[in-house]
Amino acid sequence: MSMKISRIVNALEPSATMAMAAKAKELKSSGKTVYDLSLGEPDFVTPQHICDAAATAMKAGHTHYTVASGIPELKKAVVESYKKMYGLDYDPAQVTVTNGAKHALHNAFTTTLDPGDEVIIPAPYWVSYAELVRLTGAVPVIVQTEESNDFKITPEQFKAAMTGNTRMFLLCSPSNPTGTLYSPEELAVLADLVLENNLIVLADEIYDQLVYAGSKFASFPTLRPGLQERTILINGVSKTYAMTGWRIGWSIAPSNVAKKIGELQSQETSNPCSISQYATVAALNGDQKCVAEMRAEFEKRRDYVQSRLDEIPGLSYPNMGGAFYAYFNVKQHLGRKYNGVQVDTSEQWCLELLAQKNVATVMGSSFGTEGYVRASFAASDEVLKNAFDRIRDFVTKS
Ligand code: PMP
Ligand code: GLU
């Protein structure tokens, strides 16, 4: 007998980033050297003072349930960091601490969307957004953006996507998967449309600390008065502090929404790991030098990856101002054979690159744009050099 799966989960696409990472790990465990650019996961170790705070928390007996929505010290640290960085005033009660930002997104969608509500999601989009929206019965409205516009939604596209059912706009800037970001001026134009049309904005700002020289980040609610009341901010420590495994993220939402998110969380997961929460307090309240050092390293890698992409004829990519992804256009290299194997899609391209050269990347089709490939440069210099040598040979010699 095969047990019945619910319709809604049956329709769910598994995460392609996770799937490619699993394939790379499988190959590694079979003894192969794999150059893994699949996951957006900093290769740095979590800074020592953060690990020390976790050990101290354990010794102090912070190993039990906490308030489901997070410890007060952490909510306070989150609020203080937003005040310091962006001048935004929030009440700690507006913060819900979650099991990673992915969980914060799930909570936010579940709490604010009803079946039939529409969410405008510019493509390319991070793999989990559309699926998490679908889980609520709401409808992702995917808007194709252009590489020539650095994959940013234009005001015209935004207006054209709007219907009587539009409830939310999903903003991810700096973007996963493209690494591009909206300028404050571009965001202000979108903010006006949001205000005029009474929309909710879900602003995933998880890459706000990874913005490189020449680009300027603005936290969405700072752009116009009235945005704080209609924006749910998402952030976390995975990227900023190299803490992917600690599973701490958060949402900051209008009070009535935050209250309901807390109640939802009290039924679904209870608190995120108590020890990780104390470690996160140390991350947010401690010296931010570690963040600047990691950012500088990522910026060097960004420059290196750009120089390697420039060497390969026929590849193009948008302006990479933030995050740690290169999103390059391989359309000119599809529709031909690679060492005798016909490759017509970005999925086949990524699978052959892995099979023939042991380099793991993620296909653009899973981010909603066929013909592109995402490579994470949250990898060591040595891995990047080897990976791009092989990508060059794959494209030019096979
Ligand atoms: N949002 C974006 C844009 C991401 O790239 C990620 C990557 N993991 C997440 C949210 C979720 O992060 P986490 O659950 O590790 O906090
Ligand atoms: N967000 C990262 C990525 O896109 C980690 C994987 C995931 O959470 O999907 O690679």
pLDDT at 398 > cutoff 90: no
For the stretch 280-319, pLDDT in tens is 999 999 999 999 999 999 999 999 999 999 999 999 999 9
pLDDT at 359 > cutoff 90: yes
Question: Taking a C-beta distance cutoff of 8 angstroms, is the pair 96, 277 a contact?
Answer: no
The overall average pLDDT reported for the chain is: 97
- Alpha carbon 235 to its chain centroid, in Å, reads 9
* Residue whose CB lies within 8 A of the most ligand 1 atoms, among 18, 102, 241, for a mutation test: 102
What is the pLDDT, as a whole number, of residue 281? 98
For the stretch 125-180, pLDDT in tens is 999 999 999 999 999 999 999 999 999 999 999 999 999 999 999 999 999 999 99
Ligand whose nearest atom lies closest to the CA of 127:
2
For the stretch 213-253, pLDDT in tens is 999 999 999 999 999 999 999 999 999 999 999 999 999 99
Ligand whose nearest atom lies closest to the CA of 173:
1
* Residue whose CB lies within 8 A of the most ligand 1 atoms, among 96, 181, 239, for a mutation test: 239
pLDDT at 1 > cutoff 90: no
| Coil, helix or strand at residue 69 | coil
* Residue whose CB lies within 8 A of the most ligand 2 atoms, among 176, 366, 374, for a mutation test: 176
User: What's the first-to-final CA gap in the chain, in angstroms?
Assistant: 47
| Coil, helix or strand at residue 82 | helix
What percent of the chain has a predicted confidence (pLDDT) above 70? 100
Question: Taking a C-beta distance cutoff of 8 angstroms, is the pair 299, 291 a contact?
Answer: no
- Å from CA of 75 to ligand 1 middle: 19
What is the pLDDT, as a whole number, of residue 395? 97
| CB neighbourhood size of 386 (10 A) | 18
Question: Taking a C-beta distance cutoff of 8 angstroms, is the pair 348, 355 a contact?
Answer: no
As a whole number, mean pLDDT of residues 92-119 equals 98
Report DSSP state, residue 213: T
> Could you give the CA distance from residue 272 to residue 270 in angstroms, rounded to a whole number?
7
What is the pLDDT, as a whole number, of residue 206? 98
Atom of ligand 2 nearest to the CA of 127: 9
Please state whether 375 falls in left (phi above 0), alpha (psi between -120 and 50) or beta.
beta
Backbone angles phi, psi at 278, to 5 degrees: -65, -35
Query: Positive or negative, the Cα torsion across 299, 304, 310, 312?
Result: negative
* Residue whose CB lies within 8 A of the most ligand 2 atoms, among 17, 240, 243, for a mutation test: 17
- Å from CA of 244 to ligand 2 middle: 10
**Residue 107, CB half-sphere, CA atoms under 13 Å: how many?**
33
> Could you give the CA distance from residue 398 to residue 377 in angstroms, rounded to a whole number?
24
In this structure, which amino acid lies at residue 312? I
- Å from CA of 234 to ligand 2 middle: 15
Is the pTM value of this prediction over 0.95?
yes
pLDDT at 393 > cutoff 90: yes
| CB neighbourhood size of 51 (10 A) | 15
**Residues at CB less than 6 angstroms from ligand 2:** 15, 17-18, 39-41, 102, 126-128, 176
What is the pLDDT, as a whole number, of residue 38? 96
**Residues at CB less than 6 angstroms from ligand 1:** 40, 100-102, 126, 172, 176, 204, 206, 236, 238, 244, 249
Instruction: Give Cα separations from 86 to 81, 83, 217, 285 (angstroms).
Output: 8, 6, 10, 16
Contacts of range 128-134, beta carbons closer than 8 Å, 24 or more positions apart? 128/15, 128/102, 129/105, 129/170, 129/172, 130/368, 131/12, 131/13, 131/15, 132/102, 132/105, 132/106, 133/109, 133/170, 134/8, 134/11, 134/12
How large is the angle between the packed helices 101-112 and 127-135, nearest 10 degrees?
A: 40
